Amino acid sequence: MSKGKIVSIHSFRGGTGKSNTTANLAAQVALTGKRVGVVDTDIQSPGIHVLFGLDETKMGKTLNDFLHDKATIREVGFPVGENTGDAEGRAQLTGKNLWLFPSSIRGREISQILKEGIDFNRLNEGLQSTISEFDLDYLFIDTHPGLNEETLLSIATSDILIIILRPDNQDLQGTSVTIDIARSLDVPHLLLMVNKALPKYDFAVIKAGIEAQFNAPVAGVLPLSFDLADNASNDLFSLKYPEHDWSKALRGVAEAILAAQ
Amino acid sequence: MNQDILDFLRNTEIFSGLADDLLQTVAMSATSRALAAGETLIRKGDVADSLFIIKQGWLKIVTEDSKGDELILNKCGAGEVIGEMALLDSGLRSASAIALEGANVLELSRAIFMDVLDKNPKVAFAIIASHSERLRHNTFYIEKAIDWSLKTADGDYSFVESTQPLSADARANGDKAAELLAAFFTMVRKVKEREDGLKKQLEQLTFEIDQARRKQDFEEITSTEFYANLKEQAKTLRQKRNQS
Ligand SMILES: Nc1ncnc2c1ncn2[C@@H]1O[C@H](COP(=O)(O)OP(=O)(O)OP(=O)(O)O)[C@@H](O)[C@H]1O
Ligand SMILES: [Mg+2]
């Protein structure tokens, strides 16, 4: 079995920044020369492809085709390093080993798979064979918010689970349950990441408070930033603006992933 | 030709008490200067040879803070006299003056100014009085500001409750020292508010997880057959990975 690591990115609530974080983390890790894959298992509302410059016209085979036995995983992998386009940030990925495994954005295919439910063994095998076929060091999984069955599966198979939360009570409550689940499923590495923290707060205090609450490491506290909200939709923010506080904190999280053995 | 200058001077604070002939001399020897927005009229450290009376427009009086960033000390407008201090003491400019917008000033040479002072002690008294008043004022405010700074550093905000916020008329009077203190006071109040807000936020962060609900949610998810299978599969998966 391959030694590649599965890194799932999860959050209790929607809109917490999973897709942006996943895409930027994957890009940062790929920049170090690692072989990286990104799977969008948010089958209900896929979104990460946009950050990699993939739109409906360019999208070929998808995860849905694979789950329906209509495509091999090889066919689904979209080589980001060969299709960086002219976006300033993404252009730095030219020649890097990074593949995206997109979910279908066609409404009919989405409702079909939701109706049938996902074959979990197939998805699990799919993840494993993705790692071995592409000889990946890291496979990042962008998930649907909350604890539905696909998400539980991705948590169960992950080597590293990153839970993103906003520093407020609702997220803390939801995150506490996910942490308990991750521990019950023996996930080897659990990392917390705070996103959308109001810059007026002391991030060190937020980090210490959450770590004490959950007895789990906070790998980064990323600020709420209008720069990000304005610029993040179609390029990789941390590549385009490497000196921004959000990007610096994100690189800290990437380092924590690379350090996890 | 100098009539408008004459009328203007008669309405300024320092020269209002001058006899007509002296005022005439001042008006005749003053030269008009137009400034573009952003233009520097006085440069800190330069040798001072004249004073300026602002006819129209606003200037900022600036120096630098320890990081080299511009620090605005004051804003002066029509009718105010600037640069007279350097004529009376060291002779070097203690701050810079920069036009905030298009402005007009009258420049009066040191020689004429000294002559006016000689011939009209009232002007000298007016200047001395205004300076010493400013000084007395500032000393009081500086002492207050020092006291408050020390208290703030210790986290003692008791004075915020026991002090009347400085009145808006200090601002209206152009009393810069009082304005400084008012700004200082506002700053401390905001710092205190932020600190209180942060404390509250942290209390929420640290203490508001409903443990009963957490347990209930956890059990709801883990009691399903799906979960039991998943846990089993995950275990096998991890064992396999560890072996390879
Ligand atoms: N730190 C931040 N500051 C400001 N805006 C942010 C920040 N992080 C993410 N956003 C914005 O929040 C929105 C949601 O981000 P994103 O799509 O990455 O979240 P998500 O968790 O994947 O959402 P979903 O649950 O819908 O899949 C986006 O518009 C994104 O630009
Ligand atoms: Mg998303």
Q: Please compute the mean of the pLDDT values over residues B182-207 and round it to a whole number.
A: 70
pLDDT for residue A86 is more than 70: yes
Residue A175 in this model has a pLDDT that exceeds 90: yes
Residue B69 has pLDDT above 70, yes or no: yes
pLDDT at A227: 83
A147 at interface of B, judged by CB pairs closer than 8 A:
yes
- H/E stretch holding B104 reads strand B103-109
| φ, ψ (nearest 5 deg) of residue B55 | -90, -40
Assessment of whether the complete model's pTM goes beyond 0.90: no
Taking the CA of A220 as reference, the closest ligand is 1
pLDDT value at position B1?
Answer: 45
Higher pLDDT, B78 or A150: B78
Q: Is B201 within 8 Å of chain A by CB?
A: yes
Antiparallel, parallel or unpaired: β A160-165 and B31-35 = unpaired
**Contact with chain A for residue B200, Cβ under 8 A:** no
Pairing of strands B96-99, B59-64: antiparallel
Please name the member of A157, A173, A200 whose beta carbon is closest to the beta carbon of B213: A173
The minimal CB distance from B198 to the residues A156, A186, A202 is found for A202
Q: Which residues have their alpha-adjacent CB atom under 5 A from ion ligand 2? A: A 18-19, 47
How far, in Å, from the CA of A152 to the mean position of ligand 2? 16
Name the residue ranges covered by the structural domains of chain B: 3-119, 130-204, 211-243
Is the pLDDT at B169 greater than 60? The verdict is no
Ligand 1 atom with the smallest distance to the CA of A11 is 21
Which among B33-42, B164-173, B174-183 has the top mean pLDDT?
A: B33-42
Give percent of chain A above pLDDT 90. Answer: 52
pLDDT for B164 beyond 70: no
Tokens of B57: 């427009």
Is pLDDT at A254 greater than 60 in this prediction? yes
Most confident range (mean pLDDT) of A25-29, B41-45, B190-194 is: A25-29
Q: Is the pLDDT of residue B172 over 60?
A: no
| Residue B66 pLDDT level (bands cut at 50, 70, 90) | low
Query: Is some CB atom of chain A closer than 8 A to the CB atom of B125?
Result: no
Q: What is the mean pLDDT of residues A215-236?
A: 87
Q: How far is A185 from chain B (nearest CA, A)?
A: 6
* Interatomic CA distance for residues A252 and A254, integer angstroms: 5
- Domain B3-119, CATH homologous superfamily name and number: Jelly Rolls (2.60.120.10)
Task: State yes or no: pLDDT of A26 exceeds 90.
Answer: yes
> Which one is predicted more confidently, B128 or A170?
A170
Q: What is the pLDDT of residues B197-238, one digit of tens each?
A: 766 666 555 557 899 999 999 999 999 988 998 898 888 878
Nearest-atom index, ligand 1, CA of A195: 1
Q: Do B205 and A169 touch (CB under 8 A)?
A: yes
pLDDT of residue B204: 53
Residue of the CA atom closest to atom 31 of ligand 1: A229
Across chain B, what does the average pLDDT equal?
Answer: 80
Structural domains present in chain A: 5-259 (3.40.50.300)
Contact between chains at B244 and A186 (C-beta distance less than 8 A): no
Q: Is B140 on the interface with A (CB under 8 A)?
A: no
Which residues contact residue A241 at a Cβ distance below 8 angstroms, ignoring those fewer than 6 apart?
A89, A227, A231, A247
| Axis-axis angle for helices B176-207, A169-184 (nearest 10) | 30
Query: What is the distance in angstroms between the Cα of B176 and the nearest Cα belonging to chain A?
Result: 29
ipTM greater than cut 0.85: yes
Give the three-state DSSP class for A239. helix
**What percent of chain A lies above the pLDDT cut of 70?**
90
Q: Residue A1's pLDDT is what?
A: 44
Per-residue confidence at B165, pLDDT binned at 50, 70, 90?
A: low
Of A13, A16, A230, best ligand 1 pocket probe by most atoms within 8 Å of the beta carbon: A16
Asked if residue B94 has pLDDT above 60, the reply is yes
